[in-house]
Structure 1
Amino acid sequence: MMKDMNLDSYRFSISWPRILPKGKLSGGLEPYVTLFHWDLPQALEDEYGGFLSSHIVDDFRDYEDLCFKEFGDRVKFWVTLNQPWLFSQGGYATGPGRCTGPQCLGGDAGNEPYIVTHNQILAHAAAVHVYKTKYQAYQKVKIGITLVSNWFIPLAENNTSDIKAARRAIDFRYGWFMEPLTKGEYPRNMRALVGSRLPKFSKWQAKLVNGSFDFIGLNYYSSGYINGVPPSNAKPSFLTDSRTNTTFERNGRPLGLRAASNWIYFYPKGLRDLLYIRFFFPNLFKRICMNEFNDPILPVEEDILDICRIDYYYRHFYYLRSAIKAGPNVKGFFAWSFLDCNEWFAGFTVRFGFNFVDYKDGLKRYPKLSAQ
């Protein structure tokens, strides 16, 4: 099916708990391998709390060292972490696992997301250091990390408070990772608002983290309107530390057409704006982009006529091309996903794939119009 779609690359993950990858070199496909897509060995979670502990850094480094050794002859692009922001935010702030609130099984949303992100960044940097010192000279492979961010638009375009809120929203989403990776420290806004709850990099750690990538993967799904809000009197939480509020409507009008999921709105211009932010970060690194669109569950004969998906990608490609002409060093683009798949909280109630999977009839697969 991939060959029929004329694909030239395929992004997939190696499962840390299983380490059972399958080669994807046949048919001219170039594998882009993600090493951590949130599936942590239960033994490490039980032993020391997983990414809540700095012990994870050495174990993650050793796991990636093994993968580099065993599969490096077939893989030309490694991704250490997939969307670490979402792992920290979803796993330790909003829950329903670890968070703050009666619905949570434990945790502290005011501290744990920052600890987990800090350890993710250090684990990433340690793995990159191992690769560059032990393997890159003869394997000639590129290694990076995949981040995720919306673009944020001031709710009131001429309101100073909302303009500053939009910058803070970027800092707490994209800058939380990009500033350590390009400057060796967290954004100034985060340091000011989070204070002592925000971990600090030692001089040695900052040097290790700064520049620890050959490319950056950037996943963009949607944008949002942002307005500033006053400090909360509630217990400190990552969810309120940025002092912002996100909405998808302005004056009663939605930002754009909504997909099946309530967090995806058509706003392709946001991809260009997110890419072209030289005033935040240097334009020296390569970016590989990904975005996605989903449908509700429909009969196969309706779902395969996915005009909206085609329109979604067409419009994003237009703005991606516009961004590239303006300067950002974009070297590739992935669309999620090849097949309909399980979508975290939504399960099998939405469809992202270019190919329809019939869950009720032996997982038969049918190419959608977008796959052609």
Structure 2
Amino acid sequence: MAINRALLFLFCFLAIANTEATFKKYPPLGRSSFPKDFVFGAGSAAYQYEGGAFIDGKADSIWDTFTHQHPEGKVSGGVNALGVKYYNNLINEILAKGMIPYVTIFHWDLPQALEDEYEGFRNKKIVDDFLDYAEFLFKTFGDRVKHWFTLNEPYTYSYYGYGTGTMPPGRCSNYIGTCAAGDSSTEPYIVTHHLILAHGATPYQRGQIGVALVTAWIVPSTLTSKSERAAQRALDFMVGWFLHPMTYGDYPMTVQALAGKRVPKFTAEETVMLQKSYDFLGVNYYTAFFASNVLFYNNVNISVTTDNHANLTSVKDNGVAIGQATALNWLYVYPKGIEDLMLYLKDNYGNPPIYITENGIAEANNDKLPVQEALKDNDRIEYLYSHLFYLSKAIKAGVNVKGYFVWSFMDDFEWDAGFTIRFGMYYIDYKNGLKRYPKYSAYWYKKFLQT
């Protein structure tokens, strides 16, 4: 075993050395390249990591899993003491290791009980239950957790859960997909409205509150005003759809103009509540897309998927890709996009404190590959290094970036991709008792943080 470990470290050293040779186009970069109070970490998510879906009183969510603390879906339904104990132990262990927990309140796993009772986020009742849940978390864990994200990627939840129907609860119009029910023209806007209100209603506690939004940088496909406007519309419908009301109290004019009466209205009181309703902003950045103007718009089969009048692609018609392809068909490597996006947020949303809450690359899960070979994730090292380089440039340009979290800590269940891909810096051997092995990227990240 000692020999095997020595060989593993040798292989890792050689891999890091070889990978660093590819960084010659970038200046030297390390922990010291960032502000002293800058936070570095790695991400995880309950449903994607924890397993044990049918033990300790865990109840179903719309992902057919569970909500630990409240099997009935709401505080009034009772508290699962074993669930509370689990998270108390987890938080205490994190603190004991000298780390700081950054905790998400809602990451898509809506209790199935609430979906059955009143249609979940399609009903405004969800705001009160969300508020009760948040207050319970603050009361139970707030003495140790000081950084909270109300929502993670609400765009993904609304767009894919109610627009395309490709994620739970799987609702869409029949001209979009094979969903049993749904309306892709209205439900995504209703669900988004209630998600935003749930965020805004969450009370401030002893710590700080933020929200984590999925993003992408959008590059005009051609050097024309039509492509540039298409890129801006795409940003408005992905980022501005949520960030604009959370900053300014209402939806972007682009969204209101193109979706019209399908976009719910905020009351005057709600507008005041929502304005600058976050202490910090979480940004999940993976990739970028080309945007081109859509000449023809279907006025019959209306859908949130086409309301932005923009066509987003990773590869142009002439075959030019926006970056290096990966194991996911939507994730092409475009590191400069993180700098461009940071500058965009600074210029358009008041330069808020920003944490990069997710940034990473997927590799295919090849069951036939020996573990020792699977640990050689040099592409991940280069991906992380290049993005950190452009992030450091954004900071030097005055963007108020406070932290960076790699996605992800370990390989995980990656939602609709299941176990077919791996995002982790730690390899999980699914065939042999879920044993964990550090990949080369884990050793590189450790070295980076010591530099």
Shorter-chain TM-score bucket reads: over 0.9
Q: TM-score, normalised by structure 1?
A: 0.93
CA spacing shift, 1:12–1:126, aligned 2, 3 Å: farther
C-alpha contact 1:10 1:32 (8 A) present in aligned 2: no
C-alpha contact 2:362 2:421 (8 A) present in aligned 1: yes
C-alpha contact 2:42 2:408 (8 A) present in aligned 1: no
CA spacing shift, 1:295–1:14, aligned 2, 3 Å: closer
Count of residue correspondences: 356
Amino acid in the other structure paired with 1:292: G
Cα distance in 1 between the residues matched to 2:197 and 2:98: 34
CA radius of gyration, larger in = 2
| Equivalence for 1:304 | 375
C-alpha contact 1:340 1:351 (8 A) present in aligned 2: yes
Matched, 1:122 2:122: no
C-alpha contact 2:162 2:172 (8 A) present in aligned 1: yes
| Equivalence for 1:204 | 269
C-alpha contact 1:151 1:270 (8 A) present in aligned 2: yes
Q: 1:12 deviation in Å?
A: 4.7
C-alpha contact 2:43 2:409 (8 A) present in aligned 1: no
| Equivalence for 1:3 | none
| Equivalence for 2:304 | 238
Q: Of residues 10, 14, 17 in structure 1, which corresponds to 2:67?
A: 17
Cα distance in 2 between the residues matched to 1:55 and 1:13: 26
Equivalence map 1:1-372=2 (5 Å): 9=41, 11-12=43-44, 17-19=67-69, 20=83, 21=87, 22-23=90-91, 24-96=94-166, 97-101=170-174, 103-127=178-202, 130=203, 132=204, 135-136=205-206, 141-157=207-223, 159-230=224-295, 231-250=297-316, 251-277=318-344, 278-283=346-351, 285-289=352-356, 290-298=358-366, 299=369, 300-372=371-443
Cα distance in 2 between the residues matched to 1:126 and 1:311: 41
CA spacing shift, 1:212–1:175, aligned 2, 3 Å: same
C-alpha contact 1:12 1:32 (8 A) present in aligned 2: no
Greater share of residues in strand: 1
Cα distance in 2 between the residues matched to 1:301 and 1:333: 28
Deviation readout 1:292-343 (Å, 9 max, x if unpaired): 1011123222220110000000100110001111111000000011110001
| Equivalence for 2:448 | none
DSSP 3-state at the match of 1:292:
coil
Query: Gaps spanning 5+ residues in structure 2: where?
Result: 1-30, 32-38, 48-65, 70-82, 444-451
Deviation readout 1:30-58 (Å, 9 max, x if unpaired): 00011101111111111110000000000
Q: 1:279 deviation in Å?
A: 3.8
Deviation readout 1:10-37 (Å, 9 max, x if unpaired): 5455687213322221211100011101
Amino acid in the other structure paired with 1:17: T
DSSP 3-state at the match of 2:436:
strand
C-alpha contact 2:327 2:363 (8 A) present in aligned 1: yes
C-alpha contact 2:172 2:179 (8 A) present in aligned 1: yes
Cα distance in 2 between the residues matched to 1:51 and 1:264: 29
Question: Which moved further from structure 2: 60-69 or 40-49?
Answer: 40-49
Cα distance in 1 between the residues matched to 2:242 and 2:149: 15
Deviation readout 1:120-178 (Å, 9 max, x if unpaired): 00001111xx2x2xx32xxxx11111001111011002x11111000000000000111
| Equivalence for 2:20 | none
Cα distance in 1 between the residues matched to 2:242 and 2:284: 13
C-alpha contact 2:41 2:404 (8 A) present in aligned 1: no
Question: Which moved further from structure 2: 294-303 or 58-67?
Answer: 294-303
Query: Gaps spanning 5+ residues in structure 1: where?
Result: 1-5
Q: TM-score, normalised by structure 2?
A: 0.77
DSSP 3-state at the match of 2:381:
helix
C-alpha contact 1:78 1:142 (8 A) present in aligned 2: yes
Cα distance in 2 between the residues matched to 1:215 and 1:109: 31
- Once superposed, what is the RMSD of the aligned Cα atoms? 1.6
CA spacing shift, 1:203–1:169, aligned 2, 3 Å: same
Cα distance in 2 between the residues matched to 1:11 and 1:253: 32
Work out the percentage of aligned pairs sharing the same amino acid.
Answer: 46
C-alpha contact 1:51 1:119 (8 A) present in aligned 2: yes
C-alpha contact 1:11 1:32 (8 A) present in aligned 2: no
Cα distance in 1 between the residues matched to 2:239 and 2:264: 17
C-alpha contact 2:148 2:208 (8 A) present in aligned 1: yes
Deviation readout 1:224-270 (Å, 9 max, x if unpaired): 00001032233210001100101111321211111111111110001
Q: 1:280 deviation in Å?
A: 2.3
CA spacing shift, 1:228–1:76, aligned 2, 3 Å: same
Amino acid in the other structure paired with 2:165: G
C-alpha contact 1:8 1:29 (8 A) present in aligned 2: no
Question: Which moved further from structure 2: 322-331 or 22-31?
Answer: 22-31
C-alpha contact 2:355 2:402 (8 A) present in aligned 1: yes
Cα distance in 2 between the residues matched to 1:33 and 1:166: 32
Amino acid in the other structure paired with 1:339: M
DSSP 3-state at the match of 1:192:
helix
